[in-house]
Amino acid sequence: MRACIAISALVPLAFTSCFDGAGMRGESHYMAGYSQKREHDWKSSPLPDDVSYWDGDQLTGPAAIRINLTQQKAFFYKGGTLAGVSRISTGKEGRVTPPGNYKVQLKDKYHRSSSYGVFKEKGTDRVVDDDAEAQNEPVPPGCYYEGAPMFNFLQFAPSVGMHTGYLPGYAASHGCVRMPDKMAMKFFDNAVVGTPVTVER
Protein backbone atom coordinates (compact mmCIF):
# COMPACT_ATOMS: atom_id res chain seq x y z
CA MET A 1 0.00 0.00 0.00
CA ARG A 2 1.29 3.46 -0.87
CA ALA A 3 2.29 5.60 2.09
CA CYS A 4 1.58 9.29 2.12
CA ILE A 5 5.19 10.45 1.74
CA ALA A 6 5.80 13.72 -0.09
CA ILE A 7 8.07 13.76 -3.10
CA SER A 8 11.14 15.94 -2.81
CA ALA A 9 10.47 18.15 -5.80
CA LEU A 10 7.25 19.44 -7.23
CA VAL A 11 6.66 18.31 -10.79
CA PRO A 12 4.33 20.25 -13.11
CA LEU A 13 0.87 18.75 -13.25
CA ALA A 14 -1.00 17.70 -16.35
CA PHE A 15 -3.25 20.47 -17.40
CA THR A 16 -6.18 18.49 -18.64
CA SER A 17 -8.40 15.54 -17.96
CA CYS A 18 -6.95 14.44 -21.29
CA PHE A 19 -3.68 13.81 -19.50
CA ASP A 20 -0.95 11.81 -21.19
CA GLY A 21 0.90 10.07 -18.37
CA ALA A 22 4.00 9.51 -20.48
CA GLY A 23 4.34 13.24 -20.91
CA MET A 24 4.51 13.63 -17.18
CA ARG A 25 7.71 11.64 -17.06
CA GLY A 26 9.77 13.91 -19.24
CA GLU A 27 7.86 14.60 -22.44
CA SER A 28 6.67 18.05 -21.44
CA HIS A 29 5.37 20.41 -18.78
CA TYR A 30 1.71 20.67 -19.57
CA MET A 31 0.27 20.54 -16.10
CA ALA A 32 -0.11 23.60 -13.95
CA GLY A 33 2.73 24.01 -11.50
CA TYR A 34 1.95 23.77 -7.83
CA SER A 35 4.95 25.81 -6.81
CA GLN A 36 4.90 29.53 -7.48
CA LYS A 37 8.03 29.17 -9.59
CA ARG A 38 6.10 27.01 -12.01
CA GLU A 39 2.86 28.95 -11.90
CA HIS A 40 3.60 30.40 -15.35
CA ASP A 41 4.18 27.00 -17.00
CA TRP A 42 0.57 26.32 -17.90
CA LYS A 43 0.33 29.68 -19.67
CA SER A 44 3.36 29.01 -21.84
CA SER A 45 3.90 26.79 -24.85
CA PRO A 46 7.10 25.15 -26.09
CA LEU A 47 6.91 26.56 -29.61
CA PRO A 48 6.60 30.14 -30.85
CA ASP A 49 2.93 30.69 -31.62
CA ASP A 50 2.81 32.38 -35.02
CA VAL A 51 -0.61 30.88 -35.77
CA SER A 52 -2.99 32.07 -33.07
CA TYR A 53 -4.68 35.45 -33.27
CA TRP A 54 -7.93 37.13 -32.29
CA ASP A 55 -9.58 39.89 -34.31
CA GLY A 56 -13.20 39.45 -33.33
CA ASP A 57 -13.99 41.96 -30.62
CA GLN A 58 -15.81 44.27 -33.03
CA LEU A 59 -17.67 41.48 -34.84
CA THR A 60 -21.26 40.57 -34.09
CA GLY A 61 -23.57 37.72 -34.94
CA PRO A 62 -24.01 34.10 -33.83
CA ALA A 63 -20.84 32.31 -32.74
CA ALA A 64 -19.57 29.05 -34.21
CA ILE A 65 -16.41 26.99 -33.62
CA ARG A 66 -14.64 24.71 -36.09
CA ILE A 67 -11.88 22.33 -34.95
CA ASN A 68 -9.61 20.78 -37.60
CA LEU A 69 -7.77 17.71 -36.35
CA THR A 70 -5.35 17.53 -39.28
CA GLN A 71 -4.33 21.17 -39.08
CA GLN A 72 -4.38 21.18 -35.26
CA LYS A 73 -6.20 24.50 -35.37
CA ALA A 74 -9.47 25.86 -34.01
CA PHE A 75 -11.44 28.57 -35.78
CA PHE A 76 -13.95 30.92 -34.14
CA TYR A 77 -16.62 32.66 -36.24
CA LYS A 78 -19.06 35.45 -35.50
CA GLY A 79 -21.94 35.86 -37.92
CA GLY A 80 -20.06 33.72 -40.42
CA THR A 81 -16.93 35.91 -40.29
CA LEU A 82 -13.66 34.51 -39.00
CA ALA A 83 -12.93 36.11 -35.63
CA GLY A 84 -9.88 34.15 -34.52
CA VAL A 85 -7.65 31.14 -35.03
CA SER A 86 -5.86 29.11 -32.38
CA ARG A 87 -3.21 26.42 -32.32
CA ILE A 88 -4.50 23.37 -30.45
CA SER A 89 -3.49 19.92 -29.26
CA THR A 90 -6.23 17.32 -29.64
CA GLY A 91 -6.56 13.66 -28.71
CA LYS A 92 -3.67 11.32 -29.41
CA GLU A 93 -3.94 7.99 -31.22
CA GLY A 94 -6.38 5.74 -29.43
CA ARG A 95 -8.02 8.73 -27.71
CA VAL A 96 -8.83 10.86 -30.75
CA THR A 97 -11.07 13.89 -30.30
CA PRO A 98 -14.35 12.61 -31.80
CA PRO A 99 -15.27 14.15 -35.17
CA GLY A 100 -18.84 15.34 -35.53
CA ASN A 101 -21.26 18.19 -34.98
CA TYR A 102 -21.81 19.32 -31.42
CA LYS A 103 -22.86 22.28 -29.31
CA VAL A 104 -21.28 23.83 -26.23
CA GLN A 105 -22.96 22.04 -23.33
CA LEU A 106 -21.16 23.58 -20.37
CA LYS A 107 -18.97 26.58 -19.55
CA ASP A 108 -16.79 26.45 -16.44
CA LYS A 109 -14.11 29.11 -16.02
CA TYR A 110 -12.26 27.29 -13.24
CA HIS A 111 -13.00 23.68 -14.07
CA ARG A 112 -10.88 20.88 -12.60
CA SER A 113 -10.58 17.31 -13.75
CA SER A 114 -12.51 14.65 -11.89
CA SER A 115 -10.24 11.98 -13.40
CA TYR A 116 -6.63 13.18 -13.38
CA GLY A 117 -4.65 15.23 -10.90
CA VAL A 118 -2.54 14.79 -7.78
CA PHE A 119 -2.69 13.29 -4.32
CA LYS A 120 -1.64 15.71 -1.61
CA GLU A 121 -0.82 15.21 2.05
CA LYS A 122 -3.46 16.61 4.38
CA GLY A 123 -2.22 19.43 6.56
CA THR A 124 0.90 20.17 4.49
CA ASP A 125 -0.49 20.10 0.93
CA ARG A 126 2.71 18.39 -0.20
CA VAL A 127 2.39 16.46 -3.47
CA VAL A 128 2.61 12.71 -2.90
CA ASP A 129 1.61 11.49 -6.38
CA ASP A 130 1.75 13.88 -9.32
CA ASP A 131 0.13 11.40 -11.71
CA ALA A 132 -3.03 10.37 -9.87
CA GLU A 133 -6.07 8.84 -11.53
CA ALA A 134 -8.98 9.40 -9.20
CA GLN A 135 -11.19 6.72 -10.71
CA ASN A 136 -8.53 3.99 -10.79
CA GLU A 137 -6.49 4.54 -7.62
CA PRO A 138 -7.46 4.68 -3.95
CA VAL A 139 -6.52 7.86 -2.16
CA PRO A 140 -3.55 7.05 0.13
CA PRO A 141 -4.19 7.31 3.90
CA GLY A 142 -3.67 10.87 5.12
CA CYS A 143 -4.01 12.34 1.64
CA TYR A 144 -6.63 13.97 -0.57
CA TYR A 145 -7.20 14.23 -4.31
CA GLU A 146 -6.93 17.52 -6.22
CA GLY A 147 -8.04 17.57 -9.86
CA ALA A 148 -5.84 19.03 -12.58
CA PRO A 149 -6.94 22.53 -13.62
CA MET A 150 -8.75 22.83 -16.97
CA PHE A 151 -9.50 26.55 -17.01
CA ASN A 152 -11.77 28.20 -19.59
CA PHE A 153 -13.50 24.85 -20.11
CA LEU A 154 -16.04 24.59 -22.94
CA GLN A 155 -17.53 21.09 -22.92
CA PHE A 156 -19.05 20.02 -26.24
CA ALA A 157 -19.15 16.21 -25.98
CA PRO A 158 -19.23 13.73 -23.09
CA SER A 159 -16.00 14.21 -21.09
CA VAL A 160 -14.52 16.29 -23.94
CA GLY A 161 -14.03 20.03 -24.09
CA MET A 162 -11.74 22.90 -25.02
CA HIS A 163 -9.56 24.47 -22.32
CA THR A 164 -6.25 26.08 -21.46
CA GLY A 165 -3.48 23.51 -21.73
CA TYR A 166 -0.01 22.60 -22.85
CA LEU A 167 0.66 22.38 -26.59
CA PRO A 168 3.64 20.16 -27.50
CA GLY A 169 3.12 20.73 -31.23
CA TYR A 170 1.10 17.59 -31.95
CA ALA A 171 -2.03 15.74 -30.84
CA ALA A 172 -1.25 14.61 -27.28
CA SER A 173 -4.36 14.73 -25.10
CA HIS A 174 -6.84 12.09 -23.98
CA GLY A 175 -9.51 13.65 -26.18
CA CYS A 176 -9.85 17.25 -25.06
CA VAL A 177 -8.76 20.24 -27.12
CA ARG A 178 -5.92 22.13 -25.44
CA MET A 179 -5.40 25.78 -26.32
CA PRO A 180 -2.99 28.59 -25.38
CA ASP A 181 -4.36 30.44 -22.36
CA LYS A 182 -5.06 33.72 -24.17
CA MET A 183 -6.96 31.98 -26.93
CA ALA A 184 -8.83 29.72 -24.53
CA MET A 185 -10.03 32.84 -22.71
CA LYS A 186 -11.18 34.46 -25.96
CA PHE A 187 -13.08 31.36 -27.07
CA PHE A 188 -14.58 30.99 -23.60
CA ASP A 189 -15.67 34.63 -23.33
CA ASN A 190 -17.23 34.70 -26.81
CA ALA A 191 -19.00 31.33 -26.82
CA VAL A 192 -22.29 30.60 -25.12
CA VAL A 193 -24.03 27.38 -24.18
CA GLY A 194 -25.50 26.18 -27.46
CA THR A 195 -22.69 27.52 -29.69
CA PRO A 196 -22.20 25.03 -32.57
CA VAL A 197 -18.90 23.12 -32.52
CA THR A 198 -17.76 21.16 -35.59
CA VAL A 199 -14.87 18.72 -35.28
CA GLU A 200 -13.47 17.67 -38.64
CA ARG A 201 -10.54 15.52 -39.77
Among 29, 111, 163, 174, the one annotated catalytic: 163
- The CATH number that applies at residue 56 is 2.40.440.10
160 & 171 share domain: yes
Residues with Cβ within 8 Å of residue 125, at least 6 apart in sequence: none
136 & 181 share domain: no
Number of structural domains in the chain: 2
37 & 99 share domain: no
| Containing structural domain, residue 140 | 1-44+112-149
53 & 105 share domain: yes
97 & 118 share domain: no
157 & 140 share domain: no
pLDDT tens track for 94-116:
999 999 999 999 999 999 988 88
pTM recorded for the entire structure: 0.74
Task: State yes or no: is 18 an active-site residue.
Answer: no
State how far the Cα of 130 lies from the Cα of 43, in Å rounded to an integer: 19
59 & 102 share domain: yes
Among residues 149, 161, 59, the alpha carbon closest in space to that of 103 is found at 161
144 & 167 share domain: no
Task: State yes or no: is 163 an active-site residue.
Answer: yes
Among 4, 18, 143, 176, the one annotated catalytic: 176
Sorting pLDDT into bands at 50, 70 and 90, what band is 54?
very high
160 & 61 share domain: yes
54 & 96 share domain: yes
Of 31-45, 127-141, 146-160, 175-189, the one with minimum mean pLDDT is 31-45
Q: In what order do the strands lie in the sheet with 53-54?
A: 53-54, 81-87, 73-78, 63-68, 196-200, 100-103
| DSSP letter assigned to residue 158 | T
pLDDT tens track for 23-36:
333 222 333 322 22
- Tell me the three state secondary structure of residue 172: coil
